[in-house]
A = this chain, B = another copy of it.
Amino acid sequence: MDFTENESAQVVAKSFETTDDPRLRELLQGLVAHLHAYVRELRPTTAEWEHAVEFLTATGQACTDIRQEFILLSDVLGISMLVETINGTDAHPGTTASTVLGPFHMTGSPRRELGESIDDAGAGPVCVVEGRVVDTEGLPVPGATLDVWQADHHGFYDVQQPDHQPAGNGRGLFTADAQGRFRFTTATPSHYPIPTDGPVGALLRATGRHPFRPAHIHFLVDAPGYQQLTTHVFVADSAYIDADAVFAVKQSLVREFVTVDDEAAAAAHGVTAPFTLACFDIVLARR
């Protein structure tokens, strides 16, 4: 029998019947069904198909040890956020919402003491972030680890500027204390563009989309017996807070970063006035 438009999806799906792993079989047969439905509906020309092949090839080739262009593509297509939403902790009422990992969690964060600064360059306006890691009953989760990372106040992560930023700048791995408390100092985050010098940047330009993300700090929180949480805290008055290029803002993750111009308060946090202060409590779901 010849391959026909109407039967193509069934013929190809059938070729995966021999897959031992039932979940892999399900994922691939579903992929075939949806991809073939897309082609049947949108009817790409051969030139359009070639362009797609070139785009995907360039996206793979833009990836390096310190750059993940396919995650970025997944991000701007909203796929990362949809996968995160499906797998996140939103289903557990009262827990902190999850959001995307992003393409810059590709290097180990340096271990730091509570209160320490993650701004090794010492270049940005000073910010103190503090909070507690608790369970859904408000009880402390002692010894939780918090991996935090952020762009500097110019909008670049350390891995984007290996010649300009010390490795580990803007990153820290903290352990909460016996009461679940954590605190660190950093540079007040700024909104920034996602990398636009690769295929994903070209896609945004071709579609008139802006590349900006509102100011945020990433958190990856782990504690034995609790579900891992991937999230951000967002700066309430940041530009693009309502138009994140990767769709990751959730209202429950937005916090005021309050300017404090008080020497006593500054001294209590080991900084100098004025500084910004953000409080971000984290509620984990039990496994």
Contacts and interface: CB of A to CB of B under 8 A. Distances in A.
Interface stretch (A83-91, A155-163, A176-184, A260-268): A83-91
Given A2-B249, A26-B42, A34-B35, 4 more contacts: A2-B252, A3-B247, A19-B207, A27-B42
A2 B80 CA distance: 15
Given A34-B38, A46-B84, A208 B18 contact: yes
B87 A46 contact: yes
A63 B61 CA distance: 8
A97 B5 CA distance: 14
A40 interface: yes
A246 B53 CA distance: 16
Interface stretch (A69-77, A133-141, A146-154): A69-77
B206 A39 contact: no
Number of identical protomers: 2
Interface stretch (A8-16, A114-122, A166-174, A271-279): A8-16
Interface in A1-58: 2-5, 8-9, 11-12, 15-16, 18-21, 24-28, 30-32, 34-46, 48-49, 53, 56-58
B28 A207 contact: yes
A45 B83 CA distance: 7
A236 interface: no
Given A2-B250, A34-B35, A18 B79 contact: no
Given A24-B207, A56-B56, A63-B61, A86 B16 contact: no
Given A18-B207, A53-B70, A3 B78 contact: yes
Contact of A86 (B19, B43, B84, B248): B43
A40 B8 contact: no
A48 to B, nearest CB: 7
Interface in A197-234: 206-209, 230
Interface of A: 2-5, 8-9, 11-12, 15-16, 18-21, 24-28, 30-32, 34-46, 48-49, 53, 56-61, 63, 68, 70-71, 74, 77-87, 97, 206-209, 230, 247-252
A4 B88 CA distance: 11
A53 B71 contact: yes
A84 to B, nearest CB: 7
A8 B88 CA distance: 15
7 contacts: A3-B82, A11-B78, A16-B207, A18-B207, A19-B208, A21-B206, A34-B38
